Amino acid sequence: MIGTREDRVLELFAEHFGGRPDGVWSAPGRVNLIGEHTDYNDGFALPFAIGHRAVVAVRLRHDERVIVATTAPGDPVDTTLSALTGERIASWAAYPLGVAWALGEAHGRDRLTGFELAVHSDVPIGAGLSSSAAIECAAALALDELWSLESGRPALALAGQRAENTVVGAPTGIMDQTASLLGEADAAVFLDCRSLEAEAVGLGFERAGLEVLIVNTHVSHDHATGGYASRRAACERAADALHVVALRDASLDELRAARDDGRLDDEAFRRARHVVTENARVLDTVATLRDVGAAAIGSLLDASHASMRDDFEISVPEIDTAVEAMRSAGALGARLTGGGFGGSAIGLVPSDDIGAVADAVLAAFSRAGFREPTVSTVSPSAGARRER
Ligand code: GAF
């Protein structure tokens, strides 16, 4: 691809709107190191922002017209602020438009004026790397600044989540937007999804001679349909049966007692056990990173994957193949990352073994007759920012 992401979005902006935008903002996708399906259970997660980013170029208008254009296939969307009512929008434009609506809900519609927005992203779509949160967060940061709302990043994360839940229609938690807005180079975001407190935890991969390999299986998922919503509903039912506000408040002993006296059937027990044990694994991972170092977290990543595969049942054969191939070829630990039902797997791999582990994944996919995956490395990177 010729030119930077910023060049591409400026070209797109000039093509659709003419002239220059008021500014250019960007926000990254994320990899979740550990803590899956814990966010909407008021639990803990440990994602990091990655180098792939969405960029938006935005210019305010003096009326209430709103036009958004993208480099992805699809026509520009031409609408007005008053037409944004929180109703579902069935196109990619739901991300920036949903955020505009959510900011209007939070601050009052009279604080907003129309805008022209161009978006370009190199976060792979459907890969479990939060391409949607990247667009939401870039748009949220831009509009917040241009409208002088001074929301603060945690509130912008909530606006992105509200857009996703309401206008996109995916009942997701707060993790992805928080990672995108609060990510830092070489660190993960340790997020308490109940208090929304977030803390940077140094990863020190380079110092430890490690890299994160990512295998995009190209099995694409959609959190607005099916499995994600049913897992969330199962967790809420389990919390109700246990008389707790959220599964964050349940212990393994309480789950076992509820299974034994019939309040939880076997499936509900296993769904809840994933969440309860995953929360503990996040806390263990943070403690291990701080006290020992990244090379010691491999078994926690492995245990997380087993729990998602067997208890939460959100893995697919391609992801399991990637995880097993990475592990057999020398990864210290490997797991599904993101909401599941497709997407990507990550492996924590000694830098010297990256080539061999990547080759092992490609060979395993070929043997299994799966579509060739995209295998690359990712580094913990900076969160959302103004580019120019
Ligand atoms: C998706 C959701 F958007 C997140 O909120 C989170 O629940 C994740 O799946 C699973 O951990 O990325």
The string of DSSP codes covering 77-104 is: EEEEGGG-SS----STTHHHHHHHHHHH
What is the Cα Rg of the chain in Å?
21
> What pLDDT was estimated at residue 225?
66
**Residue 39 CB–ligand 1 contact under 6 Å:** yes
Q: How far apart are CA 345 and CA 98, in angstroms?
A: 29
Paired with 188 in beta bridges are 201
- Domain extent for 298: 204-378
> What pLDDT was estimated at residue 92?
87
Q: Residue 11, SS3? A: helix
Of the listed 39, 42, 176, 311, which one is catalytic?
176
> What pLDDT was estimated at residue 72?
76
Task: Looking at the structure, tell me whether residues 196 and 216 fall in a common domain.
Answer: no
Is 280 within a domain? yes
Is 102 within a domain? yes
Task: Answer yes or no: pTM beyond 0.90.
Answer: yes
Task: Looking at the structure, tell me whether residues 18 and 167 fall in a common domain.
Answer: yes
**Residue 172 CB–ligand 1 contact under 6 Å:** yes
> What pLDDT was estimated at residue 17?
97
Residue in the block written with tokens 């609060």: 182
Cα angle for residues 291, 297, 298 (degrees, 5° grid): 160
CB 135 within 8 A of CB 120: no
Residue in the block written with tokens 């607005």: 224
The CATH number of the domain holding residue 345 is: 3.30.70.890
Q: Which of 201, 232, 264 is the last residue of a domain?
A: 201
**Residue 338 CB–ligand 1 contact under 6 Å:** yes
Total count of domains within the chain: 2
- Per-residue exposure over 149-182, b if at least 16 CB sit within 10 Å of its own CB, e if not: bebebebbbbbbbbbbbbbbbbbbbbbbbbbbbb
Catalytic status, residue 176 = yes
Number of C-alpha atoms within 13 angstroms, CB side, residue 111?
Answer: 18
> What pLDDT was estimated at residue 110?
94
Is 279 within a domain? yes
> What pLDDT was estimated at residue 102?
98
Is 386 within a domain? no
Is 385 within a domain? no
How many CB atoms are closer than 10 A to CB 238?
28
Predicted interface score ipTM higher than 0.95: yes
Task: Looking at the structure, tell me whether residues 224 and 310 fall in a common domain.
Answer: yes
Task: Looking at the structure, tell me whether residues 173 and 31 fall in a common domain.
Answer: yes
Q: Which of 160, 181, 201 is the last residue of a domain?
A: 201
Closest CA to 29 of 123, 99, 163, 168: 123
> What pLDDT was estimated at residue 2?
56
Question: Which stretches of the chain drop beneath a pLDDT of 70?
Answer: 1-2, 224-225
Residue range 28-87, pLDDT digits in tens: 999 999 999 999 999 999 999 999 999 999 999 999 999 999 987 778 999 999 999 999
Ligand 1 pocket mutation, candidates 223, 231, 304, 346, criterion most atoms within 8 A of CB: 223
Task: Looking at the structure, tell me whether residues 197 and 88 fall in a common domain.
Answer: yes
**For the CA of 45, the nearest atom of ligand 1:** 11
Is 384 within a domain? no
CB 246 within 8 A of CB 232: no
Task: Looking at the structure, tell me whether residues 30 and 101 fall in a common domain.
Answer: yes
